[in-house]
Structure 1
């Protein structure tokens, strides 16, 4: 009798396994398309940016060159000499600039640096213009034949940029400008009440003023109670002096209780 072969447990497990199961290989799970797109997106964006940069470097200058600045418009400047000074001052800043690159801040600083400019605003105006709106200093006098004095009392150098006809000439110690201007405004207001204006005023170190008026009359007045002395003069001028046929040549107001008058006829007699 044949003896049955004893099988080991491993052999039994192998025989009992499904052939299909032993041959099957485990497959990797599929990557969703959304994840694949997300992984590829940074590279695509980097390439697009690179292409854009290269195209910009090549084409942007050509595009901008189609919009050069062709003119500078200046509003608020009333004299051709000052217009020309603005144009000359800004020429180098706009010569090679285009509408997009023109340096507005530098233009503002250079225009504001002109001595006769009080305020200025700057803007672009499509397609080829830079526009400035300028507020000029208003001169009220010439000081020591060297500078102009603005309405606010500030001196500024611009003699060649203004028509000086009609501006009074004021002369005095350089360090006394503020006091001289105070005299000028106070005396001018009193004299205007009788139709007189100041053409020239010379003030010495002791602040004695010698005035030449627009009718060529001369006044001399010291600082001591000068307002009261000028009021005395305007009363006499309105009532007597303006109608006297001899004509007033010079009035000295440096007296406490009176005035000294020199007549034109008397001067003519002396020169005859």
Structure 2
């Protein structure tokens, strides 16, 4: 037994040790490259980011405060504190008012529920004033410690509108300024008929084509919502055709004929130019006017007839 040799198993061959993996170099990201390319320092960028975050948070807080009514409560307390300090509306100064009722302006300006100078809604006061016909424009400002200054631009009256048995003063655009009575009517043209006030600018353009007749006009009636009848101070009525251009041409022609033959003031009752091919005159009947006036009216009609024949 002692001579027996024991064979030992051969050890498995050793595997060669793997070489350690090389760590890949971390490349600079595109964002870092872009930031590095900016002409500002990283510290400045960090401050900007901090401000942006801070402002965003402040905005969120403000929105939340407004939604929950906290902002309104703070503003109310601030306004009350200002009022208790003596800054309350006690006076209203009106500038530029001539025809307008100043008491009406005072009532509108002092209608604010809160008289604290900090709580007065200047734009709201202006909006209320702009509903008053006389006011074309208005500016409202504070003058500390206790005065509201109301600077007004008034509309200018241009005519009187008669409709539905009522008389109203209007400006050149047809805005109603205030009611008037026969006793208080100013010496202005009288516009008669539904929507006649809305046609005031049309009438003004019409009269521009015959300026010599403007001062002789007593009033005008908007007939059937389509044409004008003009009434002169001397008592005659001129019926014009429909349409802006036909009416202008007819009125210019009438002004020329009046300049040549003196038609107005001679007793003729009506001139009818609704038909462009005809010029119709309505004379008074015998006994309706004095004989001399009737004769003068007939002479005027003859002169017109002769002038029309010569033109033909």
Equivalent residue for 1:233? 254
Q: Is the 8 A contact 1:241 1:247 kept in 2?
A: no
Cα displacement string for residues 49-77 of structure 1 (whole angstroms, at most 9, x for unaligned residues): xxxxxxx99x9578523x43232111122
The corresponding residue for 1:218 is 237
Question: Where do 5+ consecutive residues of structure 2 fail to align?
Answer: 1-76, 295-312
* Pairing 1:1-272 to 2, within 5 Å after superposition: 60=81, 64-65=85-86, 67-79=87-99, 81-93=100-112, 97-143=115-161, 144=163, 145=166, 149-151=170-172, 153=173, 155-156=175-176, 158-159=178-179, 164-174=185-195, 178=198, 180-181=199-200, 183-194=202-213, 196-205=215-224, 207-223=226-242, 225-241=246-262, 246-262=266-282, 267-269=288-290
- Once residues 241 and 261 of structure 2 are traced to their aligned partners in structure 1, the CA distance between those partners, rounded to angstroms, is 23
8 Å contact from structure 1 (residues 251, 262) kept in 2: yes
Q: Runs (4+) of structure 1 moved beyond 6 Å?
A: none
Q: What is the TM-score with the length of structure 2 in the denominator?
A: 0.54
Change (3 A) 1:71 1:264: farther
Aligned residues: 208
Whether the 8 Å contact between 1:64 and 1:98 is mirrored in structure 2 is no
> Partner residue of 1:49?
none
- Gap runs ≥5 in structure 1: 1-55
Over the aligned positions, Cα root-mean-square deviation in angstroms equals 3.8
* Distance change in 2, residues 1:248/1:186 (3 Å): farther
Greater RCO (CA < 8 Å, at least 6 residues apart): 1
Cα deviation, residue 85, structure 1: 1.2
Partner secondary structure for residue 184 of structure 1: helix
